[in-house]
A and B are shown apart, each in its own frame.
Chain A
Amino acid sequence: MSELSDVTTLTIDGSQPLSIKAIKDVTVLCDEVEDRGGAVVLRVTGAPAPGWTAGLDVALVTKWERVLRRLERLPAVTVAVATGDSGGTALDAFLTADIRIATRSSRLLLPFEGEATWPGMAVFRLARLAGAARARRAVLFGQPIQAPEALMLGIADELTETPDTAAATAVQRLEGLSGKEIALRRQLLFDAATISFEDALGPHLAACDRALRRTAEEAA
């Protein structure tokens, strides 16, 4: 059972350039949650200022994308709350969460780098969540996604005026769910977007068998 005391919280400030510290913060969070369980709350806010990529190289970006993927696959429920403008690392982290909450006045921003938007994996996640057609204006032209639009596109699950309460309520609502089983179903969801019914059938049957065995074990 996950209780509120088991929540691991991390604040990600998108106004700060991507750094080793940001990668380490998420790594430590993942370590703690994998070792101890519980839920994750990500507080994300801030968008990068012009010139934010100075000193950045693709090796650092690789590490960041890798740890984000680990965050996205954690055996835990993850809740993200966006306030104000969220871009860069804040947007990246927001899009990895299972439940995404935004304040009504918040905006999601793909940051500009020179003459176009930053082409990191937020682009991929936006397209997966909202579809290429509806992610197009944000990805191609950097047009901010306003909170109501994010809600309509399914990029945000709910809008709130009280982010902390909304996050706590979301975590509470999911109390008792198994993080490991959520991770399994999440993977089935990811795969459903890309593989055929025939290729998906085997993993789904294996997951059903796993669920049946768990039920039988509980009964015994």
Chain B
Amino acid sequence: MSAPECAVRNGRWRDRLVDVFIARGHIVDLLPADPSRDLGHLDCIDAHGALLLPGLIDAHTHLREPGQEYKEDIASGLQAAAQGGFSHIMCMANTDPVNDCAPVTEFQLHKASATHPHGPFLHPVGALSKGLSGKELAPFFELAEAGCVALSNDGIPVADNHLFRRAVEYSTGPGLPVIDHCEDPGFSAHGVVNEGLISDALGLPGQPSIAEAMQVSRDILVARYLQIPIHLAHISTRESVELIARAKQDGVPVTAETCPHYLLWDQECVRGYNTLAKVNPPLRTRDDVLSLRQAVSEGVIDILVTDHAPHADFEKDAPFAQAPNGISGLDTALSLTWSLILDQILGIKDLCRLWSFAPASLFSLPVNEFCAGSPADICIFNPDDSWTVQAKDLASKGKNTPSMGQRLSGRVQAMMVQGRLVYARE
């Protein structure tokens, strides 16, 4: 075992105070905290009793580069990731040009390593179809070789069942998991809010909740028929949860994700044409929120993701139907999740599972289980540090979050990736 090079002192891990010793980017030892311990020459970070969490993994983010750097670029997105406690993030392919070929993937990886050589680390998700057109498969082997870790048509769901089936089959060649945007595009009919009370009141086209469930049903049938795993993106409705729970009981190889915003906020946030709460899938009913909370705590939903979708202020400052979909999520994800712990919906173990262990396992990324040999990806999180969300405090260029101006409990104090400090709050 290598001699320790640095340490995190006095951090709380599983209800006890510990000192964590690190060498060559990995944890080499974990000992009960001892203030009298002489750490000699070691570089030390004192956590002052704050929680230690494994580095979070966001399997669903949008970084906008190449093409829309005014919304976000890879440098600002990774900075937001560091500030949010993330050590690895996966970026979706709906850039301009679309990430459907090796040069785009390589460009993104180059920009990431040039701006954040020590992490957080970027893992591109390749397009499922060329140009996200839903008509022709993208070159999966080429994308895998360039560094993509998964495939998805996120943003523009694949309506063609045959093409989707072929994509799922072909993805097994390079061994990349398929992430599906669960929306039947014919049935969602360009709805911009949840169909029902809110669409009626605001006179906006509604997106029926079962537009999502229809695509979830399709995906479950395909996964069962082919016996190939499919990962279901940003689940938002009770109907979907019920279908996924039943499929899992039947042994169908599907996994699913949801986002903090679907666990916290319902369609009422949209009243007054609040474009900061405009997101796709739309915020649903309170009943859907309660169903998702239960599904997350019971493991029906496997992982949490941000679906970080940054937009410029001037784009969101528009009449509702003309504003783009999306909530900026990297900076606030952990604080929002902490509110679920305060509400006793989740425990800290659930948080570690949903944000780190499970996504690492699903997408074959490094997992930190806080034992000797684990990568030293450590988020130091102070649950007692409450803060009011202000634009100036978000590292993302996207300030588009319904939590703007809200007081949140708990904040990332520092972030370490592979033993290096990549963020420390001043």
| A, B from the same assembly | no
Q: Using a CB–CB distance below 8 Å, which chain A residues touch chain B?
A: none
